[in-house]
């Protein structure tokens, strides 16, 4: 079964270094929870593009060591479910021991899965609503972007590190964390803010990463009212941000940025601005 890997999404171009605000449509990568079941036993829920899921299930079974060859994989049935997809795979009974062991322990061995979650409903559980409000501006975002490189010593040295920064409403960077994983970098930053008693509700987050839904959820749970990312978001990231009342700005560059949702108008561009799905 092949589903769309991208969807057109409305956004507002926000002029930073180059003037010119405009409403646009942009292709955004689709991200969805995909539940993998083997012989009826839930194994994992992964965040993935929902196209060519039969190929994905085969590769997953092989890379996880559940089978030694593709010929051991039987029927693969893909079902669309509320909020995502379920892929049911048939394996020989003698190959089920690791599947059953995982079902008992619910320990994730993969950084791209969702630890301990075996249903789409668990992945899409409601988020707390953002209560904090700040007043910031395009100038503040431009300032933070311009200064971020000065706070990335590991990134300059390796060229392989993501950065997560916490910024004041006027764009001054108060703290930065770096890590090879974008999720890890944000986790480190949230820990730094907590240990330094810096309130994440009083500024915004800036990430040198693609905006996946996990990063949106981490920002929401930290209570931060605005998330800015240098790369593009996924459809699920935008949807979850809108549901929680998080302002989301992505593809932030020196000349422009895209405002995907800003329900509280923290950027002061339009009352109740929301450019979600």
Annotation says 58 is catalytic = no
Q: Mutual orientation of helices 213-222 and 182-195 as an angle, nearest 10°?
A: 10
Q: Which of 58, 112, 167, 224 is catalytic?
A: 112
Compute the half-sphere exposure of residue 241: CA atoms within 13 Å on the CB side of its CA.
34
CA distances to 16, 23, 32, 256 from 20, rounded to whole Å, are: 9, 10, 33, 9
Q: Tell me the pairing of strands 22-29 and 32-38.
A: unpaired
H or E element, residue 3: none
CA distance 202 to 135: 10
For residue 170, give the 3-state DSSP assignment: coil
Residue 16 near residue 142 (C-beta atoms within 8 A) = yes
Question: Which token pair is 126?
Answer: 């409601």
Q: Which of 222, 28, 212, 30 is nearest to 112 (CA)?
A: 212
Backbone angles phi, psi at 270, to 5 degrees: -165, 140
CA distance 86 to 119: 9
CA distances to 14, 103, 104, 140, 223 from 205, rounded to whole Å, are: 18, 36, 37, 12, 11
Count of CB atoms situated within 10 Å of the CB of 8: 10
Residues with catalytic function: 112
């Amino acid at each position: 079964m092949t589903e769309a890997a991208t969807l057109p999404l409305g956004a507002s171009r926000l002029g930073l270094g180059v003037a010119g605000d405009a409403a646009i449509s942009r292709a955004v990568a689709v991200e969805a929870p995909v539940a993998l079941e083997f012989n009826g036993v839930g194994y994992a829920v992964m965040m993935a593009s929902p196209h060519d899921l039969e190929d994905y299930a085969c590769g997953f079974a092989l890379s996880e060591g559940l089978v030694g060859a593709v010929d051991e994989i039987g029927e693969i049935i893909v079902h669309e479910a509320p909020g995502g997809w379920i892929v049911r795979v048939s394996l020989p009974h003698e190959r089920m021991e690791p599947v059953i062991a995982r079902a008992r322990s619910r320990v994730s061995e993969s950084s791209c899965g969702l630890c301990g979650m075996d249903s789409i409903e668990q992945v899409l559980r409601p988020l707390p609503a953002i209560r904090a409000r700040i007043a910031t501006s395009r100038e503040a975002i431009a300032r933070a972007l311009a200064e971020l490189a000065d706070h990335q010593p590991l990134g300059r040295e390796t060229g392989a590190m993501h950065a997560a920064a916490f910024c004041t409403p006027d764009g001054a960077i108060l703290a930065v964390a770096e890590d090879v994983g974008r999720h890890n970098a944000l986790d480190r930053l949230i820990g730094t803010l907590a240990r330094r008693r810096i309130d994440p509700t009083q500024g915004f987050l800036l990430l040198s990463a693609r905006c996946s839904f996990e990063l949106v959820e981490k920002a929401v749970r930290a209570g931060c009212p605005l998330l800015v990312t240098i790369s593009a978001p996924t459809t699920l990231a935008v949807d979850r941000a809108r549901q929680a009342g998080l302002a989301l700005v992505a593809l932030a560059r020196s000349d422009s940025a895209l405002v995907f949702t800003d329900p509280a108008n923290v950027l002061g561009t339009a009352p109740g601005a929301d450019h979600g799905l």
